[in-house]
Structure 1
Amino acid sequence: MDSSPHKVYHVHGFDSRQCLEHYFSDKPDMAFEDDVLKFPIENLRQLFAVGHITGDILVDLSLGSFIHHLYSACEFFKNIIVLKANNRCIMELKRWVDERTGAFYWGHTSTHFKDKEENSEQFEDKEGKLRSAIQHVVKYDLEKENMTDPLVLPPADCVITAWLLDAVSKDQEDDYIRYLRKISRLLKPGGHIIIIGNLGTTYFTVGKDKFHAFPCNEDFVRKALAGEGFIIDYCKVKERTAVSDLTDYNAVIIIAAHKEK
């Protein structure tokens, strides 16, 4: 077992393409299909279909460069602003948005998204719609008072943060709440937040490097949101089915809440 300190995502950065290959690819031996592809796509589709979470601006503040969690969102928001912690993640995402050679392939996620009556052409339209909705890809720094300084973002109707809070919370509880508070400031009064994360994680691996993760549980996430003035509207937890030593999470959580006005 490697006894060296684990790296921290937003401090050290990582190989964003390697992360996609490990956790989000269509390879036959990719162990995380049910947990990190199918589970988020299905639950976010149900969540947005209710119609309560909608508006002009959605901000996505997530780990790495994945996009599959935004398929449903692009039907309910005119503009999506994506924030990324490092240049490698920005370049990887823009390669897909601009349909450049070498972009990561997301076609395998269509089987998890499309309804029975939908066909592959309609899914291609969905990918195009998401590309059009992503208006800006912006670098951020969580340690700055205005994380996108010198840019000032307009207040968002909704913020999605996927697998980020667990990865950046070095000092565990205090860091998690501090970063949650900072992210919630991106919202307008009454706005919604959607958190996707792992429970019980202590590390995740990208390439040859191990990265720190905060092993929170469902009760902690609920209390953290309530403590910041959020009312929880939706929560689903899926026990882990993946067999892999790349990461040690116990379950995946999707939780949605709105900020009291």
Structure 2
Amino acid sequence: MDPSTHKRYHVHGFDSRQHLEHYLSDKSEMAFAEDILIFPIEQLARTFTQGHIKGDVLIDISVGSLVHHLYAACEFFNHIIVLKASDGCIMELKRWLDSRTGAFDWGHATKLYGEIQGNSDQLQEKEGKLRSAIPHVMKCDLDKENMTDPIDLPPADCIISIWLLDNISKDQNDYINCLRKFSRMLKPGGHLILLGGLDMTYYIVGKDRLHVFTYDEDFARKALVGEGFVIDICEVKKRTAVSDLIDYKAMIFIAAHKEK
């Protein structure tokens, strides 16, 4: 299929519930548990427990209606501000935050985080702590220089962005421009955590094939350094999943800090 016909995540949107069912459910046929569930949770738990990344405000700017990557973060930040590009993603996330009937069940991710931390007890308490740490879910415009215009957010101690840059960047310049926006939202010395798919060209949600910016580890490293970040951690995990829904070759996890 011609890549120019692929839908754009932040332009056309996608079915956020279908996205969760395809890539993050606990169904036996879900092929991505090791790459998309376990790898991010392991890396984030390890990174935060080192104690270097903590503070008052964390901003999450991630694709879809994900929450599994925030279990570790809520242990080290007082407030998590979540930014979403579409009403559909906001509605799906708020169903879970408000414990509504029909919300996506993240119990398997909660249990996984507890197992990684060596504490599988009190799973409901873990979910409750994450819910209480997210006071705001805000709609943002990813094309604006200030994505939350007309609101100015307080400078963040940390930004987490999971698979978003892959989705919204048309090319290298777009990717770098997004990094520049993130940098402006951080305090001096603040941290940026990215997770993405390497050498990916598409992914499928329902009947839609979506655009992805294709890049490799070398580009990601150079882009961060070029925007004034110091890379503290970079881990690459080769693909284990067998599925035609998505064609990444590896997952990359990067934690970096903004030079003062």
Task: Please state how far the C-alpha of 1:145 moved relative to its aligned partner.
Answer: 2.2
Residues 110 and 120 of structure 1 are in contact (CA less than 8 Å); yes or no, is this contact kept in structure 2? no
CA distance in 1, matches of 2:256, 2:147: 22
2:235 maps to: 236
1:197 maps to: 196
2:72 maps to: 72
CA distance in 2, matches of 1:3, 1:178: 22
Question: Which residue identity does 1:234 align to in structure 2?
Answer: I
Q: How much is the aligned-residue C-alpha RMSD, in angstroms?
A: 1.2
1:7 maps to: 7
Question: Which residue identity does 2:161 align to in structure 1?
Answer: T
Question: Which residue identity does 1:251 align to in structure 2?
Answer: A
Aligned positions of 1:108-127 closer than 5 A: 108-115=108-115, 117-121=118-122, 123-127=123-127
Check if 1:214 corresponds to 2:213.
yes
- How many residues align structurally? 259
Question: Which residue identity does 1:195 align to in structure 2?
Answer: L
Task: Please state how far the C-alpha of 1:240 moved relative to its aligned partner.
Answer: 0.3
CA distance in 1, matches of 2:3, 2:231: 39
Larger mean Cα displacement after TM superposition, 175-184 or 248-257:
175-184
Deviations 1:89-136 (A, max 9, x none): 000001100101111001111342114742342x22111000000010
Aligned positions of 1:143-182 closer than 5 A: 143-170=143-170, 172-182=171-181
Question: Which residue identity does 1:118 align to in structure 2?
Answer: N
CA distance in 2, matches of 1:206, 1:185: 32
1:256 maps to: 255
What's the secondary structure of 1:114's corresponding residue?
A: helix
What's the secondary structure of 2:135's corresponding residue?
A: strand
Question: Which residue identity does 2:63 align to in structure 1?
Answer: L
CA distance in 2, matches of 1:25, 1:118: 22
Residues 58 and 77 of structure 1 are in contact (CA less than 8 Å); yes or no, is this contact kept in structure 2? yes
Task: Please state how far the C-alpha of 1:4 moved relative to its aligned partner.
Answer: 6.5
Residues 61 and 159 of structure 1 are in contact (CA less than 8 Å); yes or no, is this contact kept in structure 2? yes
- Runs of 5+ consecutive residues of structure 2 not aligned to the other structure: none
- Runs of 5+ consecutive residues of structure 1 not aligned to the other structure: none
Identity of aligned residues (%): 65
